[in-house]
Structure 1
Amino acid sequence: MASNSPAPEGIELQEAPTAGAWGEWNPTEDSARPPRGKHRVVKQRGGLARSSTVLGVGVIAAVGASGIATAQDRPQVAISMPSLPDFGLGGAGGDGQHADAEGTAAGAAAAAKQTGIIAQQAAGHADAGATLVGRILQQAESQESAAESQTRAQAERAAQEAAAAEAKAQRETAQKEADDARAAAEKEAKEAAEAKAEQERIAKLAGSYSLPTSAYTLTSHYGDSGSMWSSGHHTGLDFAAPTGTPVKAVAGGKITSAGWSGAYGYRIVLELEDGTEIWYCHLSSMSVTSGSVGAGETIGRVGATGNVTGPHLHLEVRKGGSTMDPLAWLESKGLSV
């Protein structure tokens, strides 16, 4: 429906097409050209100031965007432009410029205020971010310091344990060396004491024991084998000496037997206090045939009676019916044969 209101100055309106000539209308640069001159901005309460021309263009653009596709299907309508305020063209130029200046100043102030708020918010966020970064760095440094302290403490503890282990090993080594030295000293002292006791015992026995003869040569030893002995081996110790060489009692005891004894020739048996028997064989003569005798006392003389190859004293040592090595027995009594 066409409006009869006069168009504002500076706005050119096109006539609405008739019903028979209705077609698609697209705004162009010329048809939507804004009026020449300055636009007076009207300050809206509670919102931003907008130009009526901008509003009109927005309406036209919205209509064009939403109705182009279906324009031919709709009935033909007349388009009328709204009354636009005075933008300073004509007689109200002074008031329009004043209002325009006020609106511009107010908008700049609002924009400046808004910009200041945004700057303050940005500065606040920046300060909060810097504070957070500082806290994170401080926490990282604290954790790193704690880790270094822990590592240092572990290293010190390991060093202390190693030092303690080394000191313990040294103490144990020193203690072992001391124990070994003490054991060696004790062993040496014990051996020395035993040797001394043995020497004293031998010296004492030497006064109680005597060699069976003198000026002799050992010819056959205990255990020698041969056909000359009925048992197949020698059961005594032979002292080769000239016939008539004195034969002595090796220790104090009593004579239990004296006389002829077959292959042994003339034989004297001397029994000692501990039951040991000393046999003197192949004697040429017997001086004592019974009774007790003392060590070193002559009881007969060397001869070659019985089964012999020459003059000698065959000496046997028996205990419990078994023979013993005469040489070892005499040496055990401290005698040097």
Structure 2
Amino acid sequence: MLVHFVTDEPTKIPAIRAMLEPRYHVVPQLLGGGVTQISSNGALMVDADLRKKVRVEQIRLVLLELSCIPEKLFIVRNHARSMVAQAYALGATAVVSRPREIIFKLAQIEVAEKAARTDFAINSREIADGAATFSSMFSAVRCVKPINLSDAERATSEIINSIAQSGLSAWLDHVRRYHEGTFQHCLLVAGVAVGFAMDIGFASLDVRRLGIAATLHDIGKARIPLSILDKPGRLDPAEEEIMRRHPVIGYELLKDISGVSPEILDGVRHHHEYLDGSGYPDALMAPEISDLVRLLTISDIFAALIESRPYSAAISRQDAYKILCGMDGKLERSLVKAFRNVALVA
């Protein structure tokens, strides 16, 4: 597989070649130079200082010239927040930091190419745009700037259109080839929730309402420290307590924004509530939990179970559905039963 490697420092080229060759064919290019080879296959990998305006402009030109390459990996050391946001703004389909993440991501791309899929109706640009939207919203929250609701609405519309055209399975497969962590989870939850609503015959307005709630459901995580949010292992009790604050944080961030309906606020605040009262943050019981929240909770749990991570293998959709079935009393049995087609077939 071809890896088109774009960098701002020639000293980085031998290191990347030592890591990837001979398994991958590395074609290097220094920023400011000409394109040496163009291919619609493989991956474009960018390793440059995104804090420098001149580098960002040079990368924009390269991305225009190499727009035929769908996979665009950006290497960002230590996942620096500002550079990660800039990478997604430029059109990154994934941001990686350590060698094992690079190898993991390239292996995913290689497997996908060998599978020779024919479901090209979903454009990787839609995934990149969705990730860029989440990055923009998270960055706004971290910088204490207002959230642009139209961004969430646009991203939701793209997800709805993609799933309507090509189905949920194609969406899930594509998303799991992209960014790990919070952005991937948000894309997965939104897709699963939209697919669920479509499958059980929701009206278009209700599909959209649930989709926007899913798109925004984890916005509160933008205020959670990255050391907790991106921790590869299990959280300790103190960290778990901090993480559990994100639904209320999200609710507080959105409640005064014009156009955010009560149903969407309900979904953001209560997507971790269970029918038996064991959820959080308000320990609601079944009569207090709306239908939208019940659907969103199932979608959120399922998406979390099937996520791809470099540190642990995702479980199969079949096994994920079995776990949902084992949560009788916490999730509505009739909805879990209705979700079977979404989980296993759609």
| TM-score interval (norm. to shorter) | under 0.3
More helix as a share of residues: 2
Q: TM-score, normalised by structure 1?
A: 0.18
Structure with bigger gyration radius: 1
